Chain A
Amino acid sequence: MNFEAIKSIYVFEMARLRRTLLQSVISPVITTSLYFIVFGTAIGSRIQTVEGVSYGSFITPGLIMLTLLTQCISNGSIGIYFPKFTGTIYEILSAPVAMTEIIIGYVGAAATKGLIIGVIILATASFFVDIRIAHPFMMVLFLVLTAITFSMFGFIIGIWAKNFEQLNIIPMLVVPPLTFLGGSFYSINMLPPFWQTVSHFNPVLYLVSGFRWSFYEIADVNPMISLGMVGLFLVICLSILGWIFKTGYRLRN
């Protein structure tokens, strides 16, 4: 293992993220606050409770997931896309570093930033609503596994993307609908049976449901199934990355 290289990439990436931290923290904090004001206070005052939890508290885990997914995917993808785009990637590719080390550096930095922002959103939320965390260990586990998995997913997009449009299309067009339809703002038990079935094909449902369970012990699907699904996504991303190492896909050809 070339630890010095992992450290260099990680520190370098974190320095880049630090430069943009203000804007990348302020915007999700404002967005989340708006959600709380609109959904939590204005609409939520009419909804009262969902499965015994106040509506504002109910949506908090989903909002954190929404931000975490978007941030991890976009940081993970930009981190590797940018050097590819400017050409500075030559240096990492000609250095004595294995792909594993490159990924640990980039994905680690993207996941770290996602987690920092996730925690900030959680803190913001606690100003608006009552937060109770029933299973702190499981909560952290869900948070960390999701951050790592989706930073890897971002990394894969960053390697695949040939232009900025492709780079942005998944975080902008795919993730928000999946999150909205994945039970961030409602329990899928509120849906007609047909849409409940459809929702089970939405991967984000499992993340949000499991994560919410770690807070309030209410879930749309069994939390162990949720954890299994997160594990499955992780394995899928790892396999794609493994294939990328082997073939040098869009990097060494």
Chain B
Amino acid sequence: MASVVSIDKLTKTYENGFQALKGIDLEIEEGEILALLGPNGAGKTTLISIICGLVNPSTGKVLVGGKDVVRDFRQTRSLIGLVPQELTTDMFETVWNTVNFSRGVYGKKPNPALVESVLKELSLWSKKDNMLRELSGGMKRRVMIAKALAHEPQILFLDEPTAGVDVNLRREMWQLVEKLRASGVTIILTTHYIEEAEEIADRVGVINGGKLLLIEKKAALMKKLGRKQLRLELSEPLTALPASLAVYNLTLADDGTALIHEYQGEEGQGAIASLLSTLAAENIHFRDLSTRQSSLEDIFVALVGEDA
């Protein structure tokens, strides 16, 4: 697939000498949903800010739609919509004016019908004449999204879109993200909530300390790094494991009433059938069986912990 954002050896050192990005290489594919995970201060916002033109890069190169973000900023920025992490709004403006203003500064001719549909999509239509200071935090967040969508961007950056957002709005937001993706928009979001990445992303990148630790298709990541566990509740407790079972990665738990088999990703799955038949041969019966897959969270914690 064609990459719509391409980042090459990007570094950023802030004025105070702090190096927030230490050489990032990343290709973002057209039409994908990419989740960037990372602890506080990892450099997620810095990375997004450089792509969007808010912060100048120190060294390295960023191309958006094949154009350089510094030199050809008009072309690159026209493609991008940004919902920043911080809620910043012009308190004394109306919803309607502020969203139309956004469209205007992106150089697009006024299009009331489009702005209307964006506001309706975000359940803001009834608030269009309200001043922003009269809105709740969640509604302000929606206004920020409406502003980012007002100029019909091809690439949408959502920097921690679900911070301080209730369950309903989060649902709605993900529905909207799905819809945008279906219409061909590439979406990059940052989050601390791993379930979120797990739920909607196609690919997941993990950033820590200004470095991209990994970037992988979510499914592949889970397959590669996800640990699986098979737990068998035994009918009768065992005191020791028979020798024939030694080849399997097994442990006895709960005073011998449960047998746990740990395996990693795909290659371990083949072993299950033979394990079960060995158990039958040894006359070990079980009442129940369950499997558990480690979540992205476990993977993330393991990765970031390793790096620290």
Verify if B295 is at the interface (C-beta below 8 Å from A). Answer: no
Contacts of B102 in A (CB 8 A): 91
Question: What's the nearest-Cβ distance from chain B to residue A4, in Å?
Answer: 5
The yes or no answer to A94 lying at the interface (CB within 8 A) is yes
Say yes or no: is A12 at the interface (Cβ < 8 Å to chain B).
Answer: yes
Q: Quick one: closest B residue to A82, CB to CB?
A: B90
Give Cα A90 to B105, complex, Å.
12
In the complex, the answer to whether A92 meets B105 with C-beta atoms within 8 Å is yes
| Cβ-defined contact, A252 with B92, below 8 A | no
A244 to B: closest C-beta gap in Å: 13
B80→A7 contact, CB < 8 A: no
- Residues in B41-85 with C-beta less than 8 Å from chain A: 52-56, 73-78, 80, 82, 84
Q: Hey, which chain B residues are within 8 Å of A95, CB to CB?
A: 77, 105-107
Q: What residue in chain A is nearest B16 (Cβ atoms)?
A: A253
Q: Is the CB of B104 within 8 A of A4?
A: yes
A 115-126 binary contact with B (CB < 8 Å = 1; else 0): 000000000000
* CB of A197 closer than 8 Å to a CB of B: no
Given contacts A86-B88, A90-B54, contact A96 B78 (CB under 8 A): yes
A4 and B82 within 8 A (CB): no
Our pick among B54, B86, B106 for the contact of A96 (Cβ within 8 Å) is B106
Say how far B272's CB is from chain A's closest CB, in angstroms: 51
Given contacts A94-B82, A253-B15, are A5 and B56 in contact (CB under 8 A)? no
Contacts of B54 in A (CB 8 A): 90, 93-94, 252
Q: Which residues of B contact A248 (CB under 8 A)?
A: 56
Chain B nearest CB: distance from A69 CB in Å?
A: 26
Minimal Cβ-Cβ distance residue in B for A12: B101
- In whole Å, how far is A154's beta carbon from the nearest beta carbon of chain B? 20
Asked if B14 lies at the interface with its beta carbon under 8 angstroms from chain A, I say yes
**Do A4 and B108 have beta carbons less than 8 Å apart?**
yes
Q: List A contacts of B108 (CB < 8 A).
A: 4
B74, A96: Cβ atoms closer than 8 Å? yes
What is the CB-to-nearest-CB distance from A54 to chain B, in angstroms, rounded to a whole number? 44
Q: Is A174 an interface residue (CB 8 A)?
A: no
B235 close to chain A: CB less than 8 A: no
Closest to B53 in A: A94
CB distance from A109 to the nearest CB of B (A): 13
Distance, CA A9 to CA B54, complexed state (A): 18
CA distance A88 to B89 in the complex (A): 6
Q: Is B241 an interface residue when CB atoms closer than 8 A count as contact?
A: no
| CB neighbors of B among A64-99 (8 A) | 83, 86-88, 90-98
B109 at the interface (CB under 8 A from A): yes
Look across to chain B and name the residue whose beta carbon is closest to the beta carbon of A15.
B97
Q: Are B89 and A2 in contact (CB under 8 A)?
A: no
Task: Using CB atoms, name the residue of chain B closest to A8.
Answer: B104
**Count the A-B residue pairs with Cβ separation under 8 angstroms: how many?**
81
**Residue B142 CB within 8 A of the other chain:** no
Interface residues on A, range: 20 to 34
* Count of interface residues, chain B, beta-carbon cutoff 8 Å: 34
A46 at the interface (CB under 8 A from B): no
A87 and B105 in contact, given A95-B77, A252-B55 (Cβ under 8 angstroms):
no
Q: Do A93 and B53 have beta carbons less than 8 Å apart? A: yes
Q: How far is the CA of A94 from the CA of B100 in the complex (A)?
A: 16
Known contacts A12-B97, A88-B89, A90-B54; decide if A96 and B107 are in contact (CB<8 Å).
yes
Q: For A253, list chain B residues within 8 Å (CB).
A: 14-15, 55-56
B109→A4 contact, CB < 8 A: yes
| A2 B88 Cβ-Cβ under 8 A | no
B231 at the interface (CB under 8 A from A): no
A4 to B151, CA, bound (A): 12
By the criterion CB–CB under 8 Å, are A8 and B105 in contact?
yes
> Is A94 a contact partner of B77 (Cβ separation < 8 A)?
yes
B103-124 vs A: 1/0 string, CB under 8 Å? 1111111000000000000000
**Alpha-carbon gap, A253 to B58, bound state (A):** 10
What is the distance, in angstroms, from A163's C-beta to the closest C-beta of chain B? 18
Q: Does B301 contact A (CB under 8 A)?
A: no
Q: Give the complex CA separation of A8 and B101 in angstroms.
A: 6
Q: Which of A88, A93, A96, A97 has the largest number of chain B CB atoms within 10 A?
A: A96
CA distance A122 to B12 in the complex (A): 53
Contact partner of B106 (CB less than 8 A), chosen from A5, A7, A88, A252, is: A5
In the A-B complex, the 8 residue pairs with the closest CB atoms: A8-B104, A87-B88, A96-B77, A95-B105, A96-B74, A2-B107, A94-B52, A5-B105
Cβ contacts A to B, 19 pairs, < 8 Å = A2-B105, A4-B105, A5-B105, A7-B104, A8-B101, A11-B104, A12-B101, A19-B92, A87-B86, A87-B88, A88-B89, A94-B77, A95-B105, A96-B74, A96-B75, A96-B106, A97-B105, A248-B56, A253-B56
